[in-house]
Structure 1
Amino acid sequence: MSGKTVYLITGANRGIGYGLAKTIAARPNTIVFAGARDPTAQSLTDLAATHPNVHPVKLIAADKESNDAAIAEIQKTAGQLDVVIANAGIANHFGPVGTTPVSQFKDHWEVNTLGVIVLFQSAQELLLASPTGAPIFALISTGAASMGQFYNAAMSAYGSSKAAANFIVKALDAENPKLVSLAIHPGWVATDMGNGGAKAFGMEQAPVTVEDSINGVLSRIDGATKEKSSGKFFNFARSSAGNMWDIDTDEISW
């Protein structure tokens, strides 16, 4: 597949993942494997119908069998893998540590943390063999995972699971000399998940558009290098409007 850049995006059937898949698929010389629990979802069926370079694949977070099978399909179809965007995640409960059910912590850690580990373990052989010589593993994280810039938003299950995933990003950078491993805060985005969180805080919808988030996320992934990007936690875009959720730096402290 010389001259092509091959992407795997998880959670690609809706929200940020779908926006990434659609945007990248419209670029020349790209192949997009759109991972989803249900690869026959209408959104992916329609996207693949209009973009023959899009290949929906079944991929369930933290499920080794489906992750292994998705990577095998990529190997068979494209013969290489250059960029993995670990986007799949859940934010199903909002509450403080003292009252959040332990089951919610388990559910969030299963998807948001173990899902990232299983994904890398399945993909690593093919990804690290990328002909680019600098494969990228990008985690869609959240500012809510930052302990250095902590804000109390009662997201104990979600925030802790993403903070643990951030640690994995740092570890992957240290353990793999050629891998560009980075975490990206996509903003508080007006997706089903983001709007659900907004309503929990009395807002009509989340403040960041999907388009703005996608543009910001891709600005961090495009051209990422080991020297300038790897082992870092990036903000999708700086904002100094003064809202609780605004972060006015390009990088976010872990």
Structure 2
Amino acid sequence: MRRFACCRDDDGPARPVIGVLCCNEIADRPIQAVATRFVDPLVRYAGATVLLVPAVADAMDTRALAGRLDGLLLTGSRSNVAGGRYGKADAAGGALDLDRDAVALELAGRMIEAGRPVFGICRGLQELNVLFGGTLTGALEDGHHRPTDDATAYETLFDHVHDVTLRPGGLLARTIAAPSISVTSVHRQGIDRLGTGLDIEAHAVGDGLVEAFSARPCGGDVLAVQWHPEWDVAASASSRAFFSLIGQSLGVESASIKS
């Protein structure tokens, strides 16, 4: 029989809790899903505890949840943000996840208004740009930002890389201490018009697409990247730096983060 240690508080300070938004997927039946690769770096390099957030609009009390989370990560996804969210037609060739749109935009908005940090990766960057009043484009069919073969196996999907230049003096440039980096990038949508109040952190080499931005509108950090720093993060100093920034925004001391 298990012994219960009631009201124990001698295990040190609790880790901050970061919500990680799921997606609606089909695996024989509808499920909530998030790739494990988004979770592991938040624990190891940001020093956080992860809470998965269902993308089920009717089940979410976003006001209550925003008051309990210390931060939020909007993950990448196989779906596109619906064009109706930013006044354009839907991009060709991509699935939609309307519940994900609803939960992401409402919860992120409440978190930002509460001064809590919010982060985005790939689709998450696109959602945050829309939240700040920006628009998206689906005109990314040149193979620059994703493999041209939609049947690419998962194991090699993120072998697709390109270079981005970091804004001199920007948050990412100061943290990474390099003028440019090579990133893994797989997406159908990208920023068309940048949202109001967002500071550009990186551009793609070649077509100049905005690849990262930051803001601090209500006292909490907002930071998003178009690429996938969660992929093979242990092999990339710049990817580890991204998750370390998340930890700093959550108030985690570097000594408590695993190397």
What is the TM-score normalised by the length of structure 2? Answer: 0.41
More strand by share: 2
Question: Whose Rg is larger?
Answer: 2
Higher relative contact order (CA 8 A, sep 6+): 2
Which protein is richer in helix relative to its size? 1
TM-score (norm 1): 0.42
